[in-house]
Amino acid sequence: MLSLASAPCTVARVSTLDATFDILQCPSCGEPLSPADDGATCANRHHFDRARQGYVSLRAAHKGKGAPASGDTPEMLEARERFQAEGFHDDIAAAVLAAVPADARGWLADLGGGTGWYAAQILDARPELHGVVLDASAPAVRIAARAHERLAAVSADVWSGIPLRDASVDVALRIFAPGSADEVRRILAPGGTAIFVVPHGDHQRELGHGLKLMKVPAGKADDVAASIPDATLVSSVEVRQRVELSVEQALDAVFMGPNAFHQDRVKVGAVLEGWTAPISVTLAVTVVALQVD
Ligand SMILES: C[S@@+](CC[C@H](N)C(=O)[O-])C[C@H]1O[C@@H](n2cnc3c(N)ncnc32)[C@H](O)[C@@H]1O
Ligand SMILES: [Zn+2]
């Protein structure tokens, strides 16, 4: 099998998705995955499909409580893509990129990476990295599969285990996304870096006024920094700004997140029309970078 670690010059001749077989493992049994005619298979003959749109679907039989994660809908992804394209998350992206070692090489894994917006920017700036987005949302990974020539995409529920091999990843990202720190630790290679974006309690707080909205779930940067006990804290950088939003932009800020599952855009829009635009909104996160030995 092709090893990117030993043969980086071959990357251009095989697709990044083919190359991910160096690091993929079966979500059902944890054995390494190999390419099969129409997808991927492991020694225990678990089989996974490769979608025509260029991603591998590593959805195991659901073991957890409740419904399996299905991830963001196309409408949520469109709202997030518009919001990111307007530049509102550029400062966060710059802080994430600054946390990626300048000489990073090997594999980047973007966990809950959505459309690959962050991963693609990092791959542009770090030519020795190749990346994989893992996300529960099939429409998201369809977009991520086309986001960068060195970026592959995998549909997976990261809560039920990350389908990547132990110590296979040099940079792991978890940006506004769920997942277990133990699993992040497991996939990190020696010397690897994990980067987390942790929203503060007042992130987008103004959008909750008068609307019964779910807040972006806040985390505590200190807890995240301590979540991998044997890691060293490399940096913890607060990104705090106020952005001025039109009603449509404010609606995108609300509907790119889980409120989209519970709220009606037309009804929320009717409330926001009564507010004085531009709507001034706080963005506040901490970007935490940890490194393991
Ligand atoms: C708020 S979005 C952030 C996306 C991306 N990190 C970004 O900031 O552009 C959260 C992402 O996590 C994904 N997600 C939610 N639950 C998941 C799970 N259990 N496994 C994998 N992805 C999940 C969603 O589909 C969505 O793309
Ligand atoms: Zn298996």
**pLDDT per residue over 221-255, tens digit each?**
999 999 999 999 999 999 999 999 999 999 999 99
Q: List the single range of 3-12, 35-44, 177-186 with lowest mean pLDDT.
A: 3-12
Of 72, 88, 155, 216, best ligand 1 pocket probe by most atoms within 8 Å of the beta carbon? 72
Output the pLDDT for position 61. 72
**Could you tell me the pLDDT band of residue 210, with boundaries at 50, 70 and 90?**
confident
Pairwise CA distance, residues 20 & 158, whole Å: 17
What is the mean pLDDT of the segment spanning 258-266? 92
Output the pLDDT for position 67. 66
More confident residue, 126 or 1: 126
Q: Which ligand is nearest to the Cα of residue 158, counting in written order?
A: 1
What is the mean pLDDT of the segment spanning 196-217? 85
Q: Whose CA is nearest to atom 20 of ligand 1?
A: 157
Asked whether 159 lines ligand 1 (CB < 6 A), one says yes
Of 176, 261, 283, best ligand 1 pocket probe by most atoms within 8 Å of the beta carbon? 176
Which tens digits make up the pLDDT trace of 4-20? 444 443 444 469 999 99
Instruction: Return the SS3 of 260.
Output: helix
Architecture of the domain whose range is 13-60+69-291: 3-Layer(aba) Sandwich (3.40)
The pLDDT mean for the chain works out to 92
Contacts of 74 (CB under 8 A, 6+ apart): 139
How many helices (H) does the chain have, and how many strands (E)? Answer: 9, 11
Asked whether 145 lines ligand 1 (CB < 6 A), one says no
pLDDT value at 54 more than 60: yes
pLDDT value at 175 more than 60: yes
Output the pLDDT for position 63. 65
Q: Give strand ranges (E) for 204-273.
A: 232-245
**Total residues found in the chain within this entry:** 293
What is the mean pLDDT of the segment spanning 275-284? 95
Percent of the chain surpassing pLDDT 70: 92
**Could you tell me the pLDDT band of residue 209, with boundaries at 50, 70 and 90?**
confident
Q: Give strand ranges (E) for the chain.
A: 34-36, 39-41, 47-49, 56-57, 106-111, 129-135, 151-155, 169-175, 188-199, 232-245, 279-291
CA–centroid distance, 51 to ligand 1, in Å, is: 19
Output the pLDDT for position 65. 62
What is the mean pLDDT of the segment spanning 94-100? 98
What is the mean pLDDT of the segment spanning 122-140? 98
**Could you tell me the pLDDT band of residue 208, with boundaries at 50, 70 and 90?**
confident
110 within 8 A of 131, measured Cβ to Cβ: yes
